[in-house]
Amino acid sequence: MKLLRYGPLGQEKPGLLDGDGNIRDLSTRVPDLSGEVLSDAGLARLAALDVGTLPIVEGAPRIGACVAGVGKFMAIGLNFSDHAKETGMAEPKEPVLFTKHTSCLSGPNDDVVLPRGSIKADWEVELGVIIGTRAKYVTQAHALDHVAGFCVVNDVSERAFQLESTGQWVKGKSCDTFGPIGPWLVTRDEISDPQALDLWLDVNGERRQRGNTATMIFSVAHIVSYLSNFFTLYPGDVICTGTPPGVGMGMKPQQFLKPGDEMRLGVQGLGEQRQRVVADA
């Protein structure tokens, strides 16, 4: 299934994308795409619905973040071997972990707003993982059993905030609108192998990033298991798993986002995002 949330910011309703590309309203069946709805049992109930009986959502509504009730937005750095190479850094021996505050979450096609003082805003297409059932001390062999599905993430980053002052990466990773996720939560049964997905990103129509999750240093199963050894993962938690080469910081000369730019990005089988870059007021 391809699940989504649609409607004005803060008023999103749950929906389902049918085989003809129509949005079907789920708001009379579930309160939102969160909590128990994301469990195997909850998703099975949605899969058993007669899609043809669900109301079609007319027009072209805004698409919101594809999951609600996100408690944690975790991210893994330097997780593609070819991206680590372009940065000139050694491949990490264990996952490099940082957080993105949940206040940065936004819809897949919402504007990306550059904060005041931003001079090095960058793009990062990533595979997102959405937790469906509580995970604590899980093995790699069972880690994917705790995953509800996958989505596209743009891990927008302000490199000057992230790397050129004191403190943690979180400053450059958590600015408002720096976490577009979606358009869909694609349930894990539709993705036969999360380590065989193409990723790509364009800026102003020019291909900047291309890669495949086969070059991830740490697999999705490894990451979920690893994180669960330090803290409990709960339904709705989101993990972005690293980016392939082609980020602006790695270009020679370096290139960064400016107002008026447009990003378009996608992950195989998970849909596409498109964002316009604007300056904060």
Q: Which of 20-29, 84-93, 115-124 has the lowest mean pLDDT?
A: 84-93
Residues 152-188 pLDDT 10s: 999 999 999 999 987 789 999 999 999 999 999 999 9
Please work out, in degrees rounded to the nearest 5, the angle formed at the alpha carbon of residue 258 by the alpha carbons of 256 and 259: 160
d(CA 69, CA 238): 10
pLDDT bucket at 83, cuts 50 / 70 / 90: confident
Structure tokens at 93: 């021996």
pTM of the model: 0.96
Domains of the chain: 67-279 (3.90.850.10)
For residues 129 and 210, the answer to whether their CB atoms sit within 8 Å is no
Residues 226-278 pLDDT 10s: 999 999 999 999 999 999 999 999 999 999 999 999 999 999 999 999 999 99
Provide the mean pLDDT of the chain: 96
pLDDT exceeding 90 applies to what percent of the chain? 93
Residues 98-128 pLDDT 10s: 999 999 999 999 999 999 999 999 999 999 9
Spacing of C-alpha 30 from chain mean position: 22
Predicted confidence at residue 39, as pLDDT, reads 98
Q: Is the dihedral of CA 119, 126, 91, 138 positive or negative?
A: positive
For residues 224 and 106, the answer to whether their CB atoms sit within 8 Å is no
Predicted confidence at residue 89, as pLDDT, reads 73
d(CA 151, CA 162): 24
